[in-house]
Amino acid sequence: MRVLLINKFFFPFGGTETALFQTAKLLRGKGHQVIFFSMSHAKNIPSQYARFFVSRVDFETVRGWRQKIRGVERILFGRESRRRLEELLRVEKPDVAHLHNIYHHLSPGIIATLKKHGIPVVMTLHDYKLVCPAYRLFVHGKTCQRCRNGRFVWCFLKKCMKNSRSKSLIGSCEAYLHRRHYHLIDRLIVPSHFLQEKIAALGFTGTCIHVPNFASMSLLRPASRPTYPKILFFGRLVEEKGVEVLIDAMAGLDAECLIVGDGPLEKALRDRARRANRADIRFLGHQPHRTLASLIRRATMVIIPSIWFENNPFSILEAFALGVPVIASRIGGIPELIEHGKTGLMFTPGDPDDLREKIKFLLNCPPERRRLARCAKQWAGNGNGREKHYSQLMAVYRSLISENPGAAAPRAESVFADKE
């Protein structure tokens, strides 16, 4: 089978890119041909398809009216993206296209291009973009669901995009404009039941299929733990990940906290850690996959302190696969992965005191840590890995290929319930 994988970034950046490259490796390992379409970037992994990638647009550093107009055009219409994809499709003839994150840098307009060529389209949802212009259901430090039933004007009114009125206006316009493209998708893959239920509750009525993520790290034996306990967080340093909660929870604990990752909040978090009372905290920056695996294996526990509606975090799956106990926020799709007291512990989101108590419990009870680690690793290896993911993915692909690609698509408005 020839599978076209599409994502706006083509280098390790976050969970979406983890899913992208895991899927590519899995498909290639099973003998399928994988084709890529993405955006040019200095950090990109080399690819024979790079000549088809669209030019880079960095929305964080856009300067001058010319660049701003080009950026807005890319977000709303994606003419270059559609043209470059046309060039790729004239050379390659994929059996199915599998989309990940395409908004802003590529534009959902490419969905119409794929359908024009009669290519079945699958899209994995990694966030809430279909029902939230700011994609996280999280704004100004709190969860938010004001855009229910397509009322995307709230993005503009609440300045949800970077707290900017102009950026939020573009976000609202983008959401209204691109509703007509999302109905062209043949299947939506959701890694968590929570995400599926949440977008349905907010008015999206498209067809979704639940296919959970899987851990890319091998089910290895845990490494010998260091004498001095190490508490590990790894991920993007952004507000919704709740790293501030972990820093506050470390006060007075006899353990070292390692924070792995980078992001826009790194400086603020370092400053907060320096001010923390009797807390041993080290920032290690972004680490390559092999180094990260070693850090996880030697950790006493992994902490997931998220304060937004997490989908299906790879950080939990990877810790489980490497036999490390996890303490995580009770929010979003996390409870689908952790059975409290059996495969891990959960705490109240945003509550550093509750998190501190859970950490102290595991620090003071090594037998309980070992029991949780064993159960978590067993769960990760008991039908929750790559083979199950592959069989589910192929079932989706094959069902679409067998269907009539010329079947009439529903009207654009039909993907949002007409509710008040």
The architecture CATH gives domain 2-214+387-415: 3-Layer(aba) Sandwich (3.40)
pTM here is 0.91
Q: Residues, the chain, total?
A: 420
Contact 369, 325 (CB under 8 A): yes
pLDDT band per the 50, 70, 90 thresholds, residue 63: low
Domain ranges of the chain: 2-214+387-415, 230-381
Pick the CATH number of 230-381 from 3.40.50.2000, 3.40.50.720, 3.40.50.2300, 3.40.1110.10: 3.40.50.2000
Decide if 2-214+387-415 and 230-381 have a common fold. yes
Give the helix ranges, DSSP H, for 183-333: 193-201, 243-249, 266-275, 289-297, 314-321
Sequence-ordered list of residues with C-beta below 8 angstroms from that of 93, at least 6 positions apart, any chain:
2
pLDDT one-digit tens code per residue, 358-408: 999 999 999 999 999 999 999 988 766 788 999 999 999 999 999 855 443
Q: How far apart are alpha carbons 250 and 359 in whole angstroms? A: 9
Sequence-ordered list of residues with C-beta below 8 angstroms from that of 128, at least 6 positions apart, any chain:
135, 136, 137, 195, 198, 199, 202, 309
pLDDT one-digit tens code per residue, 144-160: 999 999 999 999 999 99
Q: How far apart are alpha carbons 155 and 129 in whole angstroms? A: 12
pLDDT one-digit tens code per residue, 152-202: 999 999 999 999 999 999 999 999 999 989 989 999 999 999 999 999 999
Q: Residue 288, SS3?
A: coil
66 — alpha (psi -120 to 50), left (phi > 0) or beta? alpha
Q: How far apart are alpha carbons 246 and 365 in whole angstroms? A: 20
